[in-house]
Structure 1
Amino acid sequence: MGILTAILVILLVLNVFFAGVTVFLERRDTSATWAWLLVLTFVPILGFIIYLIFGRKLSKKKIFDWKGQEKIGIKESTANQIELIRQNEFPFSDPNVQHYRDLVYLLLVNDGAILTQDNEVQVYVDGHEKFEALMKDIEAATDHIHIIYYIFHSDELGKKMIHLLEKKAKEGVNVKVIYDAMGSRTTKKSFFRELEKSGGIVRPFFPSKLPLINFRLNYRNHRKLAIIDGKVGYIGGFNIGDEYLGLSKKFGYWRDTHLRIHGKAVYAMQTRYIMDWNSAAPNHKIDYKARYFPTFHGKGQTSMQIVSSGPDSEWQQIKNGYIKMINSAKRSIYLQTPYFIPDASLFEALKIASLSGIDVRIMIPNKPDHPFVYRATTSYAGELMETGAKFFIYDNGFIHAKMLVIDGEIASVGTANMDFRSFRLNFEVNAFIYEKALAAKLEDIFLEDILKSYQLTPELYSERSLWIKFKEAVSRLLAPIL
């Protein structure tokens, strides 16, 4: 045996040993463990490097820092609501909310998600309309503008947004921007320089501490929030970039769902933002000052909870909320998601619902932006169709909406996709909505989208090629780590 061969054998043995020890020492889902072991075994050395970048869990110190903020910003203020619900004394303003008190209680206990009942909500499904409304609210800001987006491109829409923020900063408005280091990796820091010169503060979330390698690359802040003067908030799926206006040749029309909220739910969005800001900008921390939580009275009637989750969470709050909603269904479950890669618990909940005669309809894109993820999606679709669930392929561009509507009575809209990444690795935020009128409106939007879709029938699915079947098998196997 030559020296080179011996060195390679030693490296391979060490790779398997240290990889196995590392994977098993880090407590995680069994399916994810096996997926990583396959990568580490069949892609030696390189696989271990990939694991170091994409597979390692957050440090306990980082999680502790977030938990400390959570206790200050959220948990203490929810104790009263929890106790009132326990004693059946909570003053529900809407009978529909009381009907779903178990879901409200679950999200209160799991996430400290305060229930607010005075919200006025507008729904946007078109990027032009959403950004026109957002920029109008930014233009009217008098005290502060807090923005966080997973993607903040430096294209025409990005420039338009940044110039408006520069203008407001020069007027003396407090402007803060967070962008995700991975999602906005093509945007140079110099793009934000003029905003910072104008008085704004900009910070990336989880930037790399090394020139070429980011060992926290796998953890992404996927949240999209905008809070203006503590009274108006935006939450949903649109990022900042020209493609979200339908200007991409690859995707064409971009179909998403975003909410504009005026009401006390903005307090919860503000709290979430402050926690993220204090993590991204430890040298410019924000206190929970009255200016960020102004006294005002919302004029709406929509009851909702703002729920966030991430790798720092003790529970997978958004996923648990989804499962609770699905299990409560009596008539219909309508879901829109660009990626459908549910874990076992969520998948079983959907199967049971479908087998129980519930009308389960799921809408996914026709144009994949991540090929492996898309093939994992079609694999799960094929299996769920066996239970009677219906899948629809949106054929009028690219659908990026993350929306779940149950019985036309309750709904969830936000940033979380129906996949492993959103539930375990990404930092996400969703609005859980309890007003029948708004849920019915979202259901109508889903039904309108069906008219722009075609059904993926079992017969059509069975016609896929052997190559597609192979890609589905591989993608399904690696689904927990995609």
Structure 2
Amino acid sequence: MSLATCLCALLLLIIIWLVLDFRLGRKKHLSIASFMETTILHGYVDIFTHGKELFADYFQEIRQAKKHIHVLFYIVKDDSFGQEFLEMLKEKAREGVEVRLLADRLGSWRLKPSTVKALREAGVKFAFSNRIKLPFLFYSAQVRNHRKITIIDGEIGYLGGFNIGKEYIDQDPKLSPWRDYHLKILGESVHSLQSEFMIDWEEYGGENLQHEPPYFPEKSLSRGPVRHQFVPTEAGMLEGKFIQVIQKAKNSIIIGSPYFVPSNRVMSELILALSRGVTLTIIVPYNADHLLVQEGSYRYLRKLLKIGAKVYQYKNGFYHAKTMVIDDNICDVGTANFDKRSFFLNKEINCYIYDSAFITRVKEVIEKDIADSLPLTIDKLNKPNPWRATKEILARFISYFL
């Protein structure tokens, strides 16, 4: 048997293994996942759009923590900003505050073993979420915990698109300034965010904290004016939720996402919305931060532009916000991108807001982002470009994993 034949046979076996691994892993994941969303809650909600302002507030609240700090991030980097964050957590742990940090195994791969050891020695309870494990190595490598939530003393919550790393505070020249949306939440709904952290911590940290009363304040948290709910998703649940929300649109849909690679069902709903007279506005980055993600979006944007959608490419830095606004009635801000990876693979959590005053505020932010963008036209996308066309073909084959 020739070397070429052996290599072809080996390649075929690898492909068969990857396909079986992924399908069987997904089947098991679907069998154990369950859809949960909170009831309509009431609280006080603020929005941050720049990392420096967010983390100034965030760090101040952490430094003032008295009882416990629970943190989940997709990315925690071991750079200078990450070290500042981790040193602060260690200092709070030494003060006697209970500190728990959950970081995604692949998203936070830059955390060195020595860094993790130092955290634990200082008293920080640390765990990696979504570790790659048998028997489905390939599938488990694809399913990431993309959530970013923090709960401080059971009274203050944060949720959104920012992670821990220099680029998020405009210290990466290639991606600065970084544009993102992150919520700060006070009031009764913080209990629900705390419970969601506990579910993830039990799975990856190995401790059941659900029935520990110290994590919930003895006093009742106030019912603020902003109606909202949290929707954690995984294993395909987000696709159905987004379809449900899109179907409610009567006048307008606004989508902001760094990656626009919708599923066929979601794409069909957007086309139906346009056909019934709903305006569709999409904001995406002008410059991409990952290989092929931009080219992966073009075939969808091309179809939508042809039937009347408006698409804007954000130019004032890198656009990483994740939002959807339906009429003046629903505003979604969370951790999920508008792509198949968030729809079908990642663990995500979104906050759906039903408050006209807050939605007006978010729309003002979006209008500013559109003003800092360039319109994407069908003529530009149809202009002959062999290299782009080649990348579009490649992106189409792997669109599930972009």
Structure 1 segment 243-392 matched on structure 2, within 5 A: 243-282=167-206, 284-294=207-217, 295-298=219-222, 300-311=224-235, 316-392=236-312
Task: Report whether the alignment pairs 1:141 with 2:65.
Answer: yes
- Cα displacement (A) at 1:215: 6.0
The residue that corresponds to 1:23 in the other structure is none
Task: Report whether the alignment pairs 1:435 with 2:359.
Answer: no
The residue that corresponds to 1:84 in the other structure is none
The residue that corresponds to 1:44 in the other structure is 12
Structure 1 segment 154-169 matched on structure 2, within 5 A: 154-169=78-93
SS of residue matched to 1:176 = strand
Question: What are the superposed Cα offsets for residues 31-84 of structure 1, whole Å, 9 maximum, x if unpaired?
Answer: xxxxxxxxxxxx6344346557766525749964x76xxxxxxxxxxxxxxxxx
Task: Report whether the alignment pairs 1:173 with 2:94.
Answer: no
Query: Larger helix proportion, structure 1 or 2?
Result: 1
Structure 1 segment 14-53 matched on structure 2, within 5 A: 44-48=12-16, 50-51=18-19
* Structure 1: gaps of 5 or more residues: 13-42, 68-109
Structure 1 residues 288 and 62, CA, compared in 2 at 3 Å: closer, same or farther? farther
SS of residue matched to 2:295 = helix
Output the CA distance in 2 between the equivalents of 1:405 and 1:361: 10
CA contact (8 A) 1:148 1:179 kept: yes
CA contact (8 A) 1:408 1:439 kept: yes
Aligned to 2:149, which of 225, 237, 246?
A: 225
- Cα displacement (A) at 1:288: 2.5
Task: Specify the structure having the higher radius of gyration (Cα).
Answer: 1
Output the CA distance in 2 between the equivalents of 1:251 and 1:445: 20
Query: 2:210 corresponds to which letter in structure 1?
Result: D
Question: What are the superposed Cα offsets for residues 291-339 of structure 1, whole Å, 9 maximum, x if unpaired?
Answer: 222232325200111100112xxxx443323222221112211110011
- Cα displacement (A) at 1:196: 1.4
SS of residue matched to 1:57 = helix
Q: TM-score, normalised by structure 2?
A: 0.93
Aligned to 2:345, which of 425, 433, 438?
A: 425
- Cα displacement (A) at 1:136: 1.1
Question: What are the superposed Cα offsets for residues 129-158 of structure 1, whole Å, 9 maximum, x if unpaired?
Answer: 111111111111111100000000011211
Output the CA distance in 2 between the equivalents of 1:57 and 1:209: 11
CA contact (8 A) 2:69 2:151 kept: yes
Output the CA distance in 2 between the equivalents of 1:471 and 1:172: 53
CA contact (8 A) 1:392 1:455 kept: yes
Question: What are the superposed Cα offsets for residues 423-460 of structure 1, whole Å, 9 maximum, x if unpaired?
Answer: 11100000010011111111111111011000001122
- Cα displacement (A) at 1:207: 2.6
* Structure 2: gaps of 5 or more residues: none
Q: TM-score, normalised by structure 1?
A: 0.78
Over the matched positions of the two proteins, sequence identity in percent amounts to 33
SS of residue matched to 1:440 = helix
Query: 2:58 corresponds to which letter in structure 1?
Result: L
Query: 1:400 corresponds to which letter in structure 2?
Result: H
- Cα displacement (A) at 1:171: 1.1
Aligned alpha-carbon RMSD (Å): 2.3
CA contact (8 A) 1:169 1:175 kept: yes
The residue that corresponds to 1:479 in the other structure is 399
CA contact (8 A) 1:310 1:427 kept: yes
Q: How many residues align?
A: 399
Output the CA distance in 2 between the equivalents of 1:342 and 1:61: 21
- Cα displacement (A) at 1:185: 1.0
The residue that corresponds to 1:29 in the other structure is none
